[in-house]
Amino acid sequence: MLTMNLYYQMKPGKKQEFAEKIYALGIPQATQKEEGCIAYNFYVSPDKDEILLIEKWKNADCLPSHTKQEHFKKLISLKDEYVISTSCEKFE
């Protein structure tokens, strides 16, 4: 199993709007239906301008297909508008 923790450093005051948009666009819901996806959840920090995305996949072989999905492309577009930087930790 592959687990990825992605930390999004948000533009000031934009984390809640970003979170609302990703759910309104159905990004988490669509990703959770992908083959090999075990979990895909966003968490909004109560204290900082940060959002944590925890992704769990059957294995790394699932990721190339994931990055070609339309909902993934929508997330990338939203990140351009709301996110300052992203860092990722991977665990197997």
Q: Over the stretch 13-39, which tens digit does the pLDDT of each residue have? A: 999 999 999 999 999 999 999 999 999
Q: How would you classify residue 87: left for phi > 0, otherwise alpha for psi between -120 and 50, otherwise beta?
A: beta
pLDDT in tens, the chain (92 residues): 999 999 999 999 999 999 999 999 999 999 999 999 999 999 999 999 999 999 999 999 999 999 999 999 999 999 999 999 999 999 99
Contacts (Cβ under 8 Å, ≥6 apart) of 6: 52, 53, 54, 55, 86, 87, 88
Instruction: Render 47-71 in DSSP notation, one character per residue.
Output: SSSEEEEEEEES-GGGHHHHTTSHH
pLDDT of residue 3: 99
pTM (predicted TM-score): 0.93
- The Cα 36–Cα 4 span in angstroms is 14
**How would CATH label the architecture of 2-91?**
2-Layer Sandwich (3.30)
Domain chopping of the chain, boundaries: 2-91
pLDDT of residue 21: 97
- The Cα 51–Cα 40 span in angstroms is 13
- The Cα 66–Cα 46 span in angstroms is 29
Report in angstroms the alpha-carbon separations of 52 from 13, 35, 61.
16, 22, 23
